């Protein structure tokens, strides 16, 4: 059932994204995860380091029970519907994918850049990156969007799809819960380092295989294998460097480098060769991403038809 459900879920998300009217009506499942995480942070992120770390472990356990256990119950109910149960499963997997949504967010950066509206482009890129954007020039905005596109190809496409195919609905929603936790609390800052430790390590683990698949998928449609193998470990994350290095190699540009967060400049290593990525490269990156998504769609279809 998982392969058919995955294919239909991909088709739904590619065609519709997650429409605003639907979000206003029912919200999005990750909103529930965020509320659990925020409540746990208020309760558990206090006291000594050991206590904070244990509270973080408990938070991850609760998320897995809620997301994985709840999805298992829904999948069991879908299976009870008979031959069409996979259609219900596809509808429940749909919001876990983000192919169209990611494309929409990146186009919201590209369009104002092409129109010369730097302020609008800064606002749009600020929706998808954590770095300071107020002082970025046009090329800096484009580079931030390319890096987010590359990393989110794993987080929003390959990884949820991988876990959907491997473990069905429990797998994909457990992944989304862990990824949400990493985004909210899996940071190295002193106030979150201990409480978010379990979320960050769990996210590293569940992205281990998908991140490498994402990097290889981008290289299959765009080249850049040499940069992938050389630079995949230059990122602070054990996983994000794979898709960023693949994107940099395929485009023939440099990504990452020094980045400012909360007013503090962090001297990150450059990934790739050639000039730093700029506005002219963002459209090429979006085209590469789309080709990779099509390839993934074809592969999932082939799995279904095997």
pLDDT attached to residue 256: 84
d(Cα 138, Cα 80) in Å, to the nearest integer? 53
Taking the chain, what is the end-to-end CA distance rounded to the nearest angstrom?
Answer: 13
Angle 264-198-96 from CA coordinates, rounded to 5°: 90
> Pick the residue with more confidence: 265 or 206?
206
Predicted pLDDT of residue 141: 93
pLDDT digits (tens, 9 = 90+) for 142-182: 999 999 999 999 999 999 999 999 999 999 999 999 999 99
Domains held by the chain: number: 1
For range 69-80, the mean pLDDT: 91
| Encoded tokens for 220 | 């299959």
Give residue 11's pLDDT.
92
8 A C-beta contact, residue 219 and residue 225: yes
Q: How far apart are CA 145 and CA 6, in angstroms?
A: 27
- CB distance 89 to 75 below 8 Å: yes
| Distance between CA atoms of residues 234 and 48, nearest Å | 32
Give pLDDT tens digits for 27-45.
888 999 999 999 999 999 9
Q: How far apart are CA 177 and CA 31, in angstroms?
A: 10
Kindly report the pTM of this predicted structure.
Answer: 0.94
Lowest mean pLDDT among 8-22, 114-128, 219-233: 8-22
Q: Considering only CA atoms, which of 49, 52, 28 is closest in space to residue 41?
A: 52
Report the DSSP beta bridge partners of residue 264.
261
Q: Are 52 and 195 in contact (CB under 8 A)?
A: yes
Burial 209-226 (b: 16+ CB within 10 A, else e): ebbbbbbbbbbebbbbbe
H or E stretch including 255?
strand 255-256
* C-alpha to C-alpha distance for 198 and 299, rounded to whole angstroms: 33
The helix (run of H) or strand (run of E) holding residue 188 is none
Cα–Cα distance measured from residue 233 to residue 68, given in angstroms and rounded to the nearest whole number:
31
Handedness of CA 80, 83, 88, 90 (dihedral sign): positive
Give yes or no for a contact between 141 and 133, defined as CB atoms under 8 angstroms apart: yes
Q: What residues make up the domain containing 108?
A: 2-305
Q: What does the pLDDT look like over 229-247, one tens digit per residue?
A: 999 998 888 898 999 999 9
- The predicted pLDDT at position 203 comes to 96
Decide which of 86 and 35 is more confident. 35
Q: Within a 10 A sphere around the Cβ of 197, how many other Cβ atoms?
A: 19
Instruction: Evaluate whether 41 touches 183 at the Cβ level (below 8 Å).
Output: no
- Cα Rg of the chain, angstroms: 19
């Amino acid at each position: 059932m998982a392969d058919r459900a995955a294919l239909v879920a991909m088709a739904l998300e590619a065609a519709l994204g997650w429409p605003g009217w639907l979000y206003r009506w029912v919200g999005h499942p990750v909103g529930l995860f965020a509320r659990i995480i925020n409540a746990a942070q208020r309760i558990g992120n206090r006291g000594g380091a050991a206590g904070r770390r244990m509270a973080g472990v408990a938070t991850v356990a609760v998320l897995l029970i809620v997301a994985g256990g709840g999805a298992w119950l829904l999948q069991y109910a879908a299976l009870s519907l008979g031959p069409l149960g996979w259609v219900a499963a596809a509808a429940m997997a749909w919001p876990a994918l983000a192919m169209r949504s990611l494309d929409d967010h990146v186009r919201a950066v590209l369009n104002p850049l092409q129109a010369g509206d730097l302020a609008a482009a800064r606002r749009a890129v600020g929706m998808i990156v954590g770095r300071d954007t107020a002082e970025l020039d046009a090329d800096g905005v484009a580079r931030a969007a390319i890096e987010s596109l590359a990393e989110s190809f794993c987080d929003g496409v390959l990884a949820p799809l991988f876990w959907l195919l491997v473990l069905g609905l429990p797998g994909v929603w457990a992944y989304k819960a862990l990824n949400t936790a990493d985004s909210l609390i899996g940071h190295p800052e002193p106030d979150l380092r201990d409480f978010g430790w379990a979320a960050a390590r769990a996210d590293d683990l569940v992205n281990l295989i998908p991140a490498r698949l994402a990097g290889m998928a981008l290289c299959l449609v765009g080249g850049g294998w040499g940069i992938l193998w050389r630079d995949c470990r230059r990122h602070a994350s054990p996983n994000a460097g794979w898709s960023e290095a693949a994107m940099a190699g395929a485009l023939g540009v440099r990504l990452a480098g020094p980045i400012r967060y909360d007013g503090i400049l962090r001297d990150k290593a450059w990934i790739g060769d050639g000039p730093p990525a700029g506005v002219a490269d963002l459209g090429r990156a979006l085209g590469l991403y789309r080709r990779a998504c099509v390839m993934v769609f074809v592969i999932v279809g082939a799995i279904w038809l095997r």
